[in-house]
C-alpha cells in the first residue's frame, strides 16, 4: 500500500469514527493531480520552485483537498473527551494548488503591514516562507524556505499563538502522513499542540496524546 492509499484509508476510518460518536462528518474531497506544465506556470509567478515532496503529492496524488468534521456537544458524548484533549473540537482542513498564489500574497501582506522587521524574533518567523494553507483562525501553515531542499512545514501565528514558528513536519510528505495519523485534527495551533512535544519536534503520531485520541475515537470504529 502506497502513501496515497494509506492516507485515504485513514481519512475514511476517521470520518466513520466521527460519525460513530454522533459528530458531524463532512467527509473529504480529493482533487485530481495536476500536470508539470501547470506547476511550471505557478513557479514562474512565484519566482522560485515548489518544494520537492509537495510537487510529488500534487502530481501523483492530489492537487488539493478538503476535510471537515466536528465533534458532538459534550453532553451527548457517552465517553467524555479526555481532559488533555479538551481543545479538540473540529477540523476544516483545506488546501489547493490553485490558491497558493493568493495565499502566499496574503502572507506577504502580513509581512509588509504587521511583521516587517526581520531582526525581531516574532516578525522573523513570517519571513522567507511560502504559505500554502490558511487556517480558520487567520493563521497560516507554510514551507520554511530557509531550508532550500524540500523545506519543512511550520506554523505562522498572527496573534501571539503558542504554536508560532513550531515545526509541524520535516517536509510536506512527513507533515501530511503524521497529520492523518493523529485523526486529521483541526490545524489551529491549539488543536495541534497536544501532539507536539516542543517547537522543533514536529507532530508525533506515537505520542501519549495521539494514542489516547485514537483510542477514544476507536471505541466505535477501528482506526488505521
CATH of the domain at 59: 3.40.1580.10
User: Does 224 map to a domain?
Assistant: no
**Vertex 106 angle, CA 104 and 109, to 5°:** 115
User: Does 60 map to a domain?
Assistant: yes
User: Does 43 map to a domain?
Assistant: yes
User: Does 143 map to a domain?
Assistant: yes
Residue 221 clears pLDDT 80, i.e. is over it? no
User: Does 114 map to a domain?
Assistant: yes
Q: What are 66's strand-pairing partners?
A: 29, 94
What residues contact 100, with CB distance under 8 A and at least 6 apart?
42, 46, 130, 131, 132
Residue 151 is placed in which grid cell?
523545506
Tell me the pLDDT tens digit for each residue of 115-153: 999 999 999 999 999 999 999 899 999 999 999 889 999
Radius of gyration of the chain (CA): 17
**Vertex 160 angle, CA 157 and 163, to 5°:** 55
User: Is residue 130 within 8 Å of 182, Cβ to Cβ?
Assistant: no
pLDDT band at 59 (very low <50, low <70, confident <90, very high): very high
User: Does 223 map to a domain?
Assistant: no
User: Is residue 90 within 8 Å of 186, Cβ to Cβ?
Assistant: yes
What's the pLDDT at 222?
47
User: Does 16 map to a domain?
Assistant: yes
Domain count, the chain: 1
Tell me the pLDDT tens digit for each residue of 62-115: 999 999 999 998 888 888 899 999 999 999 999 999 999 999 999 999 999 999
Tell me the pLDDT tens digit for each residue of 11-32: 999 999 999 888 999 889 999 9
Tell me the pLDDT tens digit for each residue of 171-220: 999 999 999 999 889 999 999 999 999 999 999 999 999 999 999 988 75
User: Does 36 map to a domain?
Assistant: yes
pLDDT band at 6 (very low <50, low <70, confident <90, very high): very high
Domain of 75? 3-217
Amino acid at each position: 500500500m502506497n502513501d496515497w492509499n494509506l492516507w485515504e484509508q485513514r481519512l475514511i476510518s476517521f470520518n466513520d469514527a466521527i460519525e460513530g460518536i454522533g459528530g458531524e462528518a463532512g467527509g473529504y474531497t480529493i482533487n485530481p493531480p495536476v500536470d508539470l506544465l501547470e506547476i511550471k506556470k505557478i513557479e514562474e509567478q512565484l519566482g522560485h520552485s515548489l518544494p520537492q515532496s509537495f510537487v510529488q503529492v500534487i502530481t501523483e496524488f492530489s492537487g488539493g483537498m478538503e476535510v471537515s468534521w466536528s465533534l458532538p456537544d459534550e453532553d451527548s458524548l457517552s465517553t467524555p473527551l479526555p481532559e488533555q484533549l479538551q481543545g479538540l473540537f473540529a477540523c476544516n482542513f483545506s488546501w489547493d494548488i490553485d490558491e497558493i498564489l493568493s495565499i502566499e500574497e496574503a502572507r506577504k501582506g502580513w509581512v509588509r503591514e504587521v511583521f516587517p522587521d526581520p531582526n525581531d524574533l516574532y516578525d522573523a518567523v513570517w519571513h522567507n516562507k511560502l504559505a500554502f494553507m490558511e487556517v480558520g483562525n487567520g493563521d497560516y501553515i507554510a514551507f520554511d524556505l530557509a531550508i532550500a531542499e524540500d523545506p519543512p512545514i511550520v506554523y505562522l501565528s498572527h496573534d501571539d499563538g503558542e504554536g508560532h514558528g513550531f515545526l509541524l513536519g520535516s517536509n510536506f510528505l512527513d507533515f501530511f502522513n503524521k497529520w492523518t495519523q493523529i485523526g486529521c485534527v483541526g490545524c489551529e495551533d491549539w488543536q495541534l499542540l497536544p501532539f507536539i512535544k516542543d517547537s522543533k519536534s514536529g507532530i508525533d503520531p506515537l505520542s501519549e496524546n495521539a494514542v489516547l485520541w485514537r483510542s477514544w475515537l476507536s471505541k466505535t470504529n477501528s482506526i488505521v
